[in-house]
Amino acid sequence: MLQDRARALSEALQTKIRGQDEAVDLAWVGFLAGGHLLLEGPPGIGKTTLARALAASASCSFKRIQMTSDLLPGEIVGTLRPRADGSGYEFREGPIFTQMLLADELNRTGPKTQAALLEAMAEAAVTVDGTTYPLPHPFWVVATQNPLESQGVFPLPESQLDRFMIWVEMGLPGAEEERRVYRAAVDGAVAQPAPTPKDTLSVADLLEIRSLLPLIHVDPTLIDYLQKVLAAVRSDAEVITGVSVRGGLSWIRAAQARAWSRSRNFVIPEDLTRLAGPVLAHRLRLVQSKAPHSRRLQVVERALEGVAAPK
């Protein structure tokens, strides 16, 4: 059964990425929903490992781009090059032509190169010299970024942040989980083998799951609740720009994916409340422009506290 296989893969991810259960669960919801993911945390805590593990869970093509300050847009989307016979130009595809793209340390590269992903994330296509080229289907971006306090980073613009369904924060694991990692390294633990094709989700499986998500029932009372929370967020004194309609739709979609992953055919209030911070907070623009992400999460929490959830 498709749900059983998906659940087994989710549990395998929890085992592989030690001490990051909540982050893995959020990433899995985004994976099922097909929403782009932004993983944030300091170097060396498993962001890239999680992204690679997600790619290994599905039989999709996968490419990784290490984002650097000198990276050019053409090195991502592709370029026009003269044909060998001199008869004109031909388009050479860049690494963005894949089903799953890992943009590692996205905020290490400049705004112009960051913008090269905007059309791809919204339209699953890229335009070069007036010609639009469709990307492989399905197309999915997982980006990692270092905390804004790090040196040499370029904050992502609002238009790009709004294209990420879920912002997943990853921190250091708990003390016991950290000790387990060290023990495994010292004891020379054998790495788990990569999942075989029969254990993974195929592209057809992913598309089937995503086609089922709109059938997950969302009660009208939950829609009213969602809209009131969004209105409360937008009217908060700290907020200049609130959550877009795209953000609201992403919240519903993520809640449906969470419900499906828990073998339910209906959304419950907990699906919305547990996903509110990860789906909504990164979309906010605050009066204090350099406020940490925790301030945005506090705005969302205030809105949740001020609006009674349906019973």
Which residues belong to CATH 1.10.8.80 in the chain? 216-306
The hierarchical CATH code for the domain 216-306 is 1.10.8.80
Say what the pLDDT of residue 216 is. Answer: 97
Residue 294: closest CA among 85, 148, 130, 142: 148
* % of residues, the chain, pLDDT over 70: 95
Q: Which amino acid is at 62?
A: F
Say what the pLDDT of residue 199 is. Answer: 64
* Per-residue pLDDT tens digits for 182-207: 887 787 654 444 444 456 888 899 99
Say what the pLDDT of residue 260 is. Answer: 96
pLDDT tops 60 at residue 222 = yes
Which residues belong to CATH 3.40.50.300 in the chain? 2-184
- Right CATH number for 2-184 from 3.40.50.970, 3.90.550.10, 3.30.420.40, 3.40.50.300? 3.40.50.300
- pLDDT, average across residues 106-132: 91
pLDDT tops 50 at residue 161 = yes
Could you give the maximum distance between any two Cα atoms of the chain, in Å? 70
- pLDDT, average across residues 259-264: 95
Least trusted range by pLDDT, from 93-102, 149-158, 286-295, 296-305: 149-158
pTM: 0.88
Least trusted range by pLDDT, from 56-70, 215-229, 268-282: 56-70
pLDDT tops 80 at residue 150 = no
Say what the pLDDT of residue 196 is. Answer: 46
Least trusted range by pLDDT, from 20-34, 38-52, 103-117, 210-224: 38-52
